[in-house]
A and B are shown apart, each in its own frame.
Chain A
Amino acid sequence: MDFKKLLILFLTIMSIGGFVWAGDAKPKVTITAPKNPGKLYLPSINEIHRNAKHAGITGKWGQLIRVQSKDYAAMKLPQRAFEVGQTLSDIAFVVLDSGNDDAPPSKAIIQQAYNALGSMELPANIKAEIQTLKDQLETGKLQGKALRDKMDDLISQLVPQIEEDKKPSIRDAGSLVLAAGYFKALYLGARTVASYTKPTPEQLDMFRWKALVDYFLTHFTAKAIPEFKDSRTVKNFVVALEKIKPLVNKNRGEITKSDVKGIARALKLSFK
């Protein structure tokens, strides 16, 4: 075979290959259910608030949420973590809510967030970032959307670091902060929807929280250290989660207004 023929053969093969490569026929590969249910990827508290807002149930939350000054130093650890989680969830709604993108948060709110975070044992790099953030806020360098983005960045670093911390008390405190944040939002939602004369099926389906309830029940009954597991704060919280478990573990369209009332009632003890 001479060189010219060889070249033509090569170009022909490359062209065919190119057509095959560029074609749309990509064989479909399916994924079957694994033996274990897979790692749980937790939603963000902001996402839950956004969902509540889309569902039109947050109209009166401004009156329900009162970000109050708390004496965190006087609280022992499990309780302190639980209170911090609630405060941060409330602040997330008040400050990070997209409706407030262009409004600077009040200095009182910033101070509350700083006090709450500052009361927790945190990795050194996160503490330094929080201090920088506070300085920038006080000098007015960060406002509105920029503030929200910066806080999101901070939380992005904070959450995985706390959850994977080698010190069990930091890990459990972080989990309790997260849990208190999520379930404060659930409590507000349940309280609101339970007061409606006729909630819509979409509003009732918002309470299908099986995955989150299972995740935190497992953590605080099996994985947490005794200092947390045996504390009154965690025990009360676990009782509330066990009560709501059958109510949130229902199929689509099966959650009733009575179930939502039950959720609000069970969580009231922890979030009054």
Chain B
Amino acid sequence: MMNNKSKVWILVVFVATFFMAATLTIPSIGYASDAQSMRKLRTVKRYVERRGVDCRNRASGDYLSQGDNYVVRTTLYRQNEYVIIGAGDSSVRDLDILILDENFNEIDRDTKRDSTPIVEVSPRWSGTFYIGVLMYRGSGYSNIMICYK
């Protein structure tokens, strides 16, 4: 039989584990903002720039609820290699980026469960493409940036 001291310790572990799990699954709301998403995006930008890529002069973003998406239209050029980066604020749990051609056929997508998606793509032709940003889990502000080399 367990003594009371052991039971207390087990209870402490139980509660701590519960809160850790809750922290992972419930989006936090403190300081979540477009500015926070941009700060995260700049960090990801610095990371990819170390690999010799340059980024476009601006970002594109919006607020999304879970399951929602927004689409931006752009021109990508054959022979350039693209790294498309995104970042959600602290209440975003899983943000995905999809690359679609002009007829909305999927070219590539990010599949990781994180709030900083990165997709690398080398288009086989120049022309109009769509970048889809999907709030897979959580909700909040997100921004994307197109980098190239």
Contact = CB atoms under 8 A, between A and B. Distances in A.
Interface in B36-84: 54-58, 60, 67, 69-75, 77-80
A26 interface: yes
A29 interface: yes
B77 A30 contact: no
A198 interface: no
A31 B75 contact: no
Contacts of B130: 38
B58 A210 contact: no
Contacts of B148: 47, 50
Contact of A7 (B10, B78, B79, B80): B10
A17 interface: yes
Interface string B90-104: 000000101010001
Contacts of A75: none
Interface string A190-216: 000000000000100110111110000
A133 interface: no
A41 B72 contact: yes
Contact of A202 (B56, B78, B136, B149): B78
B146 to A, nearest CB: 7
Contacts of A7: 10, 14
A17 B20 CA distance: 13
A37 B73 contact: yes
B106 interface: yes
A30 B130 CA distance: 13
Contact of A26 (B14, B100, B113, B149): B113
B125 A205 contact: yes
Interface centre among A26, A29, A47, A206 (most CB of B within 10 A): A47
Interface stretch (A106-114, A152-160, A238-246): A152-160
A59 to B, nearest CB: 15
Interface residues of A, number: 43
A233 interface: no
Contacts, number: 114
Nearest to B56: A44
A205 B79 CA distance: 11
A159 B57 contact: yes
A65 B73 CA distance: 31
B5 interface: no
A10 B126 contact: no
Contact of B17 (A14, A47, A152, A202): A14
A132 interface: no
Given A47-B80, A50-B149, A30 B58 contact: no
Contacts of A14: 17, 21
Contact of A34 (B56, B71, B131): B71
Nearest to A205: B126
A158 B58 CA distance: 9
Given A39-B60, A54-B79, A46 B7 contact: no
A252 to B, nearest CB: 5
A155 B57 contact: yes
A215 to B, nearest CB: 9
15 contacts: A17-B21, A26-B111, A31-B98, A31-B132, A34-B71, A41-B58, A41-B72, A47-B54, A47-B77, A54-B77, A155-B57, A159-B58, A206-B78, A208-B75, A211-B75
Interface of A: 3-4, 7, 10, 14, 17, 26, 29-34, 37-44, 46-48, 50-51, 54-55, 152, 155-156, 158-160, 202, 205-206, 208-212, 252
Interface of B: 2, 7, 10, 14, 17, 21, 54-58, 60, 67, 69-75, 77-80, 96, 98, 100, 104, 106, 111, 113, 125-128, 130-132, 134, 136, 146, 148-149
